[in-house]
Amino acid sequence: LPNSDIMIHQVSGGAQGQASDVERTVEYMFKLKKRLIRILSQHTGKPEDQVLHDSDRDYYMNATEAKAYGLVDEVIKSRKEAKLLDGAGPDKALSDRSTAVAEAALPQKVEE
């Protein structure tokens, strides 16, 4: 929708406990960061270095900027415009889109 905003940022979180547990959590966060950078790069067409730089801090975009960045395919003016070509309603279109995004974030082999 045209008045929507989107924000990307690096992985964040926290850890507590024994030093070895904290170390494992930090290692996992760095692996997750690499994976998310790769996924965003693949889906936006932006080089990984640019995605890494842009997501180093909170990076806000309006709907038009998000489309130019490659995070969204279209900026629709209303939910009615979200109909799929096969005639499914807007709720189905949004649900299918959410499922596709979630599936793209599933664990994949990370090159180290």
The pLDDT value recorded for residue 79 is 75
Same domain? 4 vs 20? yes
- Number of structural domains found in the chain: 2
Ordered per-residue pLDDT tens for the chain, 112 residues: 889 999 999 999 999 999 999 999 999 999 999 999 999 999 999 999 999 999 999 999 999 999 999 999 989 888 777 765 345 555 555 566 556 555 655 555 555 5
CB 45 within 8 A of CB 70: yes
Is the domain of 83 the same as that of 66? no
Q: Does pTM top 0.85 for this prediction?
A: no
From residue 46, alpha-carbon distances to 24, 53, 87, 94 in Å are 30, 11, 32, 24
At position 18, the amino acid (one-letter code) is: Q
Residues 29 and 47 placed together within one structural domain of the fold: yes
Nearest CA-CA partner of 30 in 42, 46, 15, 44: 15
Q: What is d(CA 99, CA 95) in angstroms, rounded to the nearest whole number?
A: 6
Q: Is residue 1 part of a domain?
A: yes
CATH of the domain at 41: 3.90.226.10
Check whether residue 49 and residue 83 sit in a common domain: no
87 domain-assigned: yes
63 plus 89 within the same structural domain: no
> Which residue range is the domain that position 98 belongs to?
76-106
Q: Which residue has the tokens 């979630």?
A: 102
pLDDT given at position 85: 36
Pair 65, 84 in one domain: no
Count of residues for the chain? Answer: 112
In a domain, 90, yes or no: yes
* Whether residues 97 and 60 fall in one domain: no
Q: Is residue 9 part of a domain?
A: yes
Q: How many whole angstroms separate alpha carbon 48 and alpha carbon 35?
A: 10
